[in-house]
Amino acid sequence: MKGLIELIPSEWLEEVINLAAECTVVVDHNGIILYINNAYCEFLHVSAEESIGKPVQDIIENSRMQIVAKSGKAEVASIHPINGSEMVANRYPLFVGGELVGAVGTVMFRNPKEWLDYSRKLQPLMEELNYYKNRFEKELHSKYHFGDLIGESGKFREAKILAERVSDSHSAVLLLGESGTGKELFAHAIHHSSGRRYAPFMRLNCASIPEHLFESEIFGYEEGSFTGAKKGGKKGKFELANKGTIFLDEIGDLPLQMQSKLLRVLQEKEIERIGGRAPVRIDVRIIAATHRNLEEMVEKGLFRQDLYYRLNVIKIDIPSLRERREDIAPVSAVLLRKLEGKFHRQGLELSEEATRYLEQHSWPGNIRELENVLERAVNVLDGPIILPKHLPLYLRGEERPVSSSPPDSSFFPEQPFQIIPLRETVLQAEKLAIINAIKKTEGNKVEAAKLLEIGKTSLYDKCKQYSIK
């Protein structure tokens, strides 16, 4: 390197310095100026001849170069008041052969105008960066906290208190409850109250990812590992969730082959991308959820026992809506506030009579079904108060005693004078048949599709249409 420098004429070196940094000064260990370029001289209204050999503080107002030359500690992007203005300066210690011999200083912006000109160029880039930052925070961070979990019934309070108590733990959490009870909200709240809240919160529905794509989604892949692989490869869900939390929803629907691969991740705390050459260490907290009975699945050989014990460190049972009927009114009030924003309306309320109808229903679809009922009511509402006439007919016609079983054919009104619109009757019957089939097969949608004599894809489409998990 020394030989290359010697090939460059000295006048070239000075010009290079002038081009690389507009204002540059070099001092020795005692703070005596050894070099100052023309740009800095012009800014200070001095000449190089009268500056070189003098203490830097005598030439440059408020200088700290002599301090950096003694301390050996750099000062980067420091505000430096000079000539009635504030400039941005960098000061670096100069080491030669391991010995502190002096310091070099540069000025980035000599006045606010230069900074404003630079910031105008930088502004579009910052706006784009903020856009992607906000998008990242929206998609990868928790959206709910414990204040969003509404309910005062005994079982629900127990579940909420336990979830709050273990939120800052690193142990795995298993959320159990019927579809629509709010398991995902609990997962969001646990992450939001944990020490990992500023790290990613990744969500993965184990039932919605095709088996042949599951490995690439979970572990990611390297560039060129298979046909169609993205250039540069892709990080998997676990790698994206590093230092944060991953929520494995519908864990009971995970195929056995994938269960063994997931177990290895939980045991070794590392993943290996498809086509990768070395494992990647990860630090991720697991929150899993299912509406299925995992203990029975373990006994039948449908779920790995060792994986079950890995996930079932802290088990939280979330009660169904029919088990906490006293919470229907407050939960409905919160859902109506949400619907007010969606429909641009204000003051939506439930009448006492409509509330009684809601409290008598068995709610096989839980809170998700309640939200659908309220949204339907708001659509046909002609004022701010929801009356019984605004509720679906199957709710108004339900005169049987409240039970824990989902309604069957009794959802049809028994009164001969009530006429149910044909389309609504068909939709309710179809929805009810799907709910009963899924419950009979303990959440196994493949078997439920066989019972209903429809294809698996068709069943998934209808589940999505009716918000059935």
Instruction: Spell out the domain ranges in the chain.
Output: 2-109, 141-224+233-317, 321-407, 421-469
pTM of the shown model: 0.59
User: Tens of pLDDT along the chain (469 residues)?
Assistant: 455 556 677 777 766 766 665 688 999 999 999 999 888 888 888 999 999 999 999 999 889 999 999 999 999 888 777 766 677 888 999 998 889 999 999 887 655 566 556 656 666 766 766 666 665 555 567 788 999 999 999 999 999 999 999 999 999 999 999 988 999 999 999 999 999 988 999 998 888 888 778 888 888 888 777 666 677 788 888 988 999 999 999 999 888 888 988 898 899 899 888 888 888 899 999 999 999 999 999 999 999 999 999 999 999 999 999 999 999 999 999 999 999 988 888 899 999 999 999 998 889 889 999 999 999 999 988 889 999 999 988 887 644 333 334 444 444 444 444 455 666 677 778 888 888 888 888 888 888 888 888 887 778 878 877 778 7
Q: Tell me which architecture the domain covering 421-469 has in CATH.
A: Orthogonal Bundle (1.10)
CATH class for the domain made up of 2-109: alpha beta
**Token digits of residue 29:** 């260990």
**Token digits of residue 439:** 């419950």
The Cα–Cα gap between 156 and 321 comes to: 10
Residue type, 137: E
Task: Tell me, yes or no, if the two domains 141-224+233-317 and 321-407 fold the same way.
Answer: no
CATH class for the domain made up of 141-224+233-317: alpha beta
Residues composing the chain: 469
The Cα–Cα gap between 23 and 245 comes to: 49
Q: Which CATH number fits domain 321-407: 1.20.1260.10, 1.10.10.10, 1.10.8.60, 3.30.499.10?
A: 1.10.8.60
Distances (CA, A) of 116 to 112, 121, 123, 259: 6, 9, 10, 57
Query: Computed over its alpha carbons, how large is the radius of gyration of the chain?
Result: 34
**Token digits of residue 426:** 């068909």
Contact by Cβ (8 Å): 467, 369:
yes
